[in-house]
Amino acid sequence: MRRLTFITTLLLSSLFWVCPTRAGGDTIVVVVNKDVQSGNLDRNTLRPIFQVIKQQWANGNGVVPFNLPEDSQIRRDFDQAVLGLSPEYVARYWIDKKIRGDTHPPKKLPSPEAVARAVAHTPGAIGYVLADDVTPALKVVAKIQNGKVVPP
């Protein structure tokens, strides 16, 4: 009887086990192509890059930003920290830009792994991924910690 109670308790407790999500448990880092001539970047530099206002690096080469899908928790955390906007306001921002005939949003890729590959293979590229997705072909220029942009 004790064994049955133990097994039942164990099974029931496993129903309430919460696995941490990757976005909540891992650090988000901002990465650039390893050939980008840039030091660490702060929020005041990142914001116009991801709003596609700043379109060139200091050396004149083009900036190519990559985003994750709107429903990604990593994207929501990044947008809140860098742009200071909720998902609804980010969507309104891009609708307004489209109506005015302004620039298009950064290219959207399906996963952090896809962003890491694209940034690694695209001159001038910048994106954000989880720290676990960083490869030698990428250079970390900032990280998101406690909802704020901080040096890596």
Sort residue 21 into left (φ over 0), alpha (ψ -120 to 50) or beta.
Answer: beta
The answer to whether the Cα torsion of 119, 123, 125, 131 is positive or negative is positive
| Domain ranges, ordered by start, for the chain | 21-150
Region 24-49: mean pLDDT is 92
C-beta of residue 130 within 8 angstroms of C-beta of residue 113: no
pLDDT one-digit tens code per residue, 115-137: 999 999 999 999 999 999 999 99
Taking domain 21-150, whether its CATH number is 3.40.190.10 is answered by yes
C-beta of residue 68 within 8 angstroms of C-beta of residue 29: no
CB atoms within 10 A of CB 94: 17
Residue 75 per-residue DSSP state? H
- Is residue 111's pLDDT more than 60? yes
C-beta of residue 134 within 8 angstroms of C-beta of residue 31: yes
Sort residue 106 into left (φ over 0), alpha (ψ -120 to 50) or beta.
Answer: beta
pLDDT one-digit tens code per residue, 78-89: 999 999 999 999
